[in-house]
Amino acid sequence: MKNVIKIWKWIDDRSGITEFLKPLQDHLVPPDAKWMYVFGSATLFCFILQVITGVALSFLYQPSTETAYESLKFITNETPFGSLLRGLHFFGASAMILLVGIHMIRVYLMAAFKYPREMSWITGVILLLLTVTMGYTGQLLRWDSNGVWSAFVGAEQAGRIPLIGKPIGYILLGGRTMGGATLSRFFAIHVFLIPALLFGLIGLHIYLVIRNGISEPPLAGRKVVKENYREWYQSMLRQKGVPFWPYAGWRDLTFGVIVIVFILILSIVVGPPEIGNPPDPADIYANPRPDWYLLWIFALFALMPRQIESFAMAFSPVIIGIILVMLPLVFNKGERSALRRPWTIAVVIIMATVIGTFWYFGTKSPWSPAFNTKPLSAEVIGNVNPAEMHGAELFYKKACIYCHAISENGGSRGPDLTHVGNRLTNEQLIIKIVNGGVNMPSFGSILSSNDLNDLTSFLMTRKQ
């Protein structure tokens, strides 16, 4: 044991490890910075988990369009604890994105982005963007039929950038068509390019926290004044600051471990996302969906008015980026307490509601045709004459049922037609079916007048 200590002392003397770490450990922090402050370090814990599990996965994963799918099945089904490894990586990603969001909201509410911590916020915004991009490219590396279409949708979105969109789309796809080069691109981005940027920016982000000091919890009425803030902060720390470790750091460690435990439990109990059908671009029965954290954007694309779509896709990321980066530059002094900043609270509530609503609808996707629906049963159709019976058949054959439900059979894109006979007259039905609507095709050229009459007479039987 004495020898071990001797060896350690030698290493420490030559490298200066404790000399470097002790100040970090001992540096003073505001004594009232408590549980609200654990989210940044929790995100870092998740990132470290992602790097470790990611490296482990890269020992097993084959990043080639031809072999990725088989290697995924191999990892999931045959590698010892492979399924757990994949689960850790998936739930680690989900946790990281969730925590990054919570961390951002906390910083925003406490105005910790104000002087002198503007750079922390700006680097944080870039980190947010990179984290979500890692989520997107990571899902794509789960190269099954869903992954293939993720690549297409990504390239198509890039295509909406004015002037240079199409070349960028082809660069993302690795060709003018999907092919051998596609997966390699995303593998390089996910494993090399963005992690390199992440390491650098996270280092900078943490360095800034240490240099500028972790912000003290705000107090209503105590405004940030650039001229004397730094002096005031330092003297406040001298008076009542506590050493980071263990007085504050214990909370970071505790919460971080709790998060990892949660990820572990979810990985064991729920398991990783299933590997779907083979990645065949000719598989027209795919039902492409992003992972949960992007479902709100998925809903946005379905519900946005089509006339503004190109503008929204091309410019809204830029505008949002500019607004986020400008925040600490414009609002860099004054009140920090949320109690004196009602607009801040309003923004958080509104954004949470808006994004939350889109999320909810993204999971239900009522705009998707209900392809799995069956023809109406005799029970639902009930007692009808032959023309009306034919109308009931047409309701399925002509695809009405994919968007309209009758007695809980069918899609929810369009209005429920269970009692449409009470609401509309025969003439109104005819006009609607022939002309269509905003999200409804016109069936005028698809239905003969006999078919139309049978269909509407069936629909008129749908009464309470």
Told to check if 399 binds another protein by CB under 8 A, we report yes
Binding mask 259-278 for another protein (x = CB under 8 A): -------------------x
The two counts, helices (H) then strands (E), for the chain are 21, 4
Sign, CA dihedral 115-120-126-131, equals negative
> Residue 409: in which H helix or E strand, if any?
strand 409-410
Told to check if 356 binds another protein by CB under 8 A, we report no
Among 115, 152, 247, 292, binds another protein (CB under 8 A): 152
Task: Please state, in angstroms and as integers, the Cα–Cα distance from residue 212 to each residue in 100, 116, 229, 314, following that order.
Answer: 20, 7, 11, 36
Judged by CB under 8 A, the chain residues 404 through 433 that form the site for another protein are 413
CA–CA separation, 384 and 261 (whole Å): 60
Among 93, 107, 122, 183, binds another protein (CB under 8 A): 183
Q: Could you tell me which stretch among 81-89, 164-172, 250-258, 321-329 binds another protein (CB under 8 A)?
A: 164-172
> Residue 28: in which H helix or E strand, if any?
strand 28-29
Which tokens belong to 119? 């750079």
Among 369, 374, 382, 463, binds another protein (CB under 8 A): 369
Binding mask 20-59 for another protein (x = CB under 8 A): ----------------------------------------
Phi, psi of 274 (to 5 degrees): -65, 145
In the complex, least distance from residue 284 CB atom to another protein, rounded to whole angstroms: 4
Secondary structure, 3-state, 325-377 = HHHHHHCCCECCCHHHCHHHHHHHHHHHHHHHHHHHHHHHCCCCCCCCCCCCC
Judged by CB under 8 A, the chain residues 295 through 314 that form the site for another protein are 298, 301-302, 304, 306, 309-310, 314
Would you say 81 or 371 has its CB closer to another protein?
A: 371
Q: Could you tell me which stretch among 42-50, 160-168, 213-221, 237-245 binds another protein (CB under 8 A)?
A: 160-168
The partner residues of 410 in beta bridges, in order of sequence, read 405
Q: For residue 216, give every residue at least 6 positions away whose Cβ sits within 8 Å of its Cβ, in sequence order, or none.
A: 30, 32, 33, 233, 236
CA dihedral 59, 61, 62, 64 (to 10 degrees): -130
In the complex, least distance from residue 155 CB atom to another protein, rounded to whole angstroms: 6
Judged by CB under 8 A, the chain residues 66 through 85 that form the site for another protein are 66-67, 69
In the complex, least distance from residue 39 CB atom to another protein, rounded to whole angstroms: 33
The partner residues of 334 in beta bridges, in order of sequence, read 224
Q: For residue 369, give every residue at least 6 positions away whose Cβ sits within 8 Å of its Cβ, in sequence order, or none.
A: 399, 402, 403, 411, 413
In the complex, least distance from residue 459 CB atom to another protein, rounded to whole angstroms: 16
Among 165, 213, 256, 328, binds another protein (CB under 8 A): 165
CA–CA separation, 330 and 352 (whole Å): 23
Told to check if 368 binds another protein by CB under 8 A, we report yes
CA–CA separation, 314 and 416 (whole Å): 35
Would you say 397 or 423 has its CB closer to another protein?
A: 397
Would you say 41 or 182 has its CB closer to another protein?
A: 182
In the complex, least distance from residue 324 CB atom to another protein, rounded to whole angstroms: 24
Judged by CB under 8 A, the chain residues 431 through 460 that form the site for another protein are 436-442, 445-446
Told to check if 64 binds another protein by CB under 8 A, we report yes
In the complex, least distance from residue 129 CB atom to another protein, rounded to whole angstroms: 19
In the complex, least distance from residue 450 CB atom to another protein, rounded to whole angstroms: 15
Q: Could you tell me which stretch among 8-16, 84-92, 152-160, 196-204 binds another protein (CB under 8 A)?
A: 152-160
Among 3, 177, 449, 464, binds another protein (CB under 8 A): 177
CA–CA separation, 296 and 370 (whole Å): 20
Binding-residue total with another protein (CB under 8 A): 72
Which tokens belong to 285? 């029965």
Judged by CB under 8 A, the chain residues 276 through 295 that form the site for another protein are 278-288
> What is the DSSP pairing of strand 409-410 with strand 405-406?
antiparallel
On whether the CB atoms of residues 138 and 93 are closer than 8 A, the answer is: yes
Among 57, 96, 122, 155, binds another protein (CB under 8 A): 155
Judged by CB under 8 A, the chain residues 80 through 139 that form the site for another protein are none
Among 211, 226, 240, 397, binds another protein (CB under 8 A): 397
DSSP string, 278-294: ---TT-TT------GGG
Other beta carbons within 10 angstroms of residue 462's beta carbon come to 22
Among 72, 95, 161, 237, binds another protein (CB under 8 A): 161
In the complex, least distance from residue 344 CB atom to another protein, rounded to whole angstroms: 33
